[in-house]
Every structure is written in structure tokens, then in C-alpha cells.
Amino acid sequence: MDPQAVIDVFRRTVTEHYFDFNGRTGRREFWYYVIAVVVIMVVVGIVSRILGTRLLSELASLALFLPNLGMGARRLHDTNRTAMFLLLPIVPTVLATVFLFIFLWPLAMICWLATVAAAILLIYFYAQPGTTGPNQYGTEPANGPPAAPAAAA
């Protein structure tokens, strides 16, 4: 894994595809983006903790919300699934919140478990290989960022 490729994928996604839900994204590009987001959020979390405020973490999450949705949608498109699957964890989350407000703790816990199950299902979908050739969402993406050139022996 080339760290520069991870940075390039993240930069390209945030600058060129900030609000892009069309097309397809290959597995390598998707997971490079996920690695970059995790590293950024860990660093922002540490800095937020040092500063004693959650504002920085919340602003970073808000800034990455649309690129994350777009990348997830394009990855689902590559597996020939609709981006509506991104809404799957939202339904049990909303229900759990409602149940918490009306003090139905057991139902809330069941809904939180359903949210976790939906998130695991999404990760499974993201890990699947994309469809070969064009599908209803576009042409097959390139095989991700180019590999670093091999050093001459």
C-alpha cells in the first residue's frame, strides 16, 4: 500500500467528487479512502481531546459527511446495488432514539443491535467485488490508483 496513493484518493474524492453520487468506485479506491478518513478522524479526535472540545471532531465529521455518502453510494453502485442501502442503518437508529425517549429500553437495545447488523451488512457489500463490465450505474472503474513504479535492480 502506497501512502501517497491513499492521500491522492482522499484528495481527489474530497475535491472532485464532494457531492457525487453517480458512477462507480472500485474496492481499492474505496478502502484507500476509508483508511484516510480513519487516520484523519483519529488525529482530529486526539487534537480535540487535547484542546478539551468536541467541536473540532464534530466539524470534521460534518465536513466529511457528504464525501462519505458519495463514496459509499459509488461503491454500492459498483456491486450493482442501489445507494438506498445507505439508509439501512438509519431506520433502526431512529426507532432506537424514539424508544429511548419513551423509556422502552429493551426495544431500544434491539434497535441498536439492528443498527449494528445493518452496518455489518454494508461492510459486507463494500467488500464484494464489483460487477465486471458496465452495469446500470456506469462503466467499470479502473483498478484503483496506479501502483508505485518498481525500483530498478
Contact 63, 86 (CB under 8 A): no
Instruction: Give the pLDDT of the chain (153 residues) as one tens digit per residue.
Output: 788 999 999 999 998 888 889 999 999 999 999 999 999 999 999 999 999 988 999 999 999 999 999 999 999 999 999 999 999 999 999 999 999 998 888 999 999 999 999 999 999 999 999 999 889 998 988 765 444 444 444
The model carries a pTM of: 0.84
Phi, psi of 138 (to 5 degrees): 140, -170
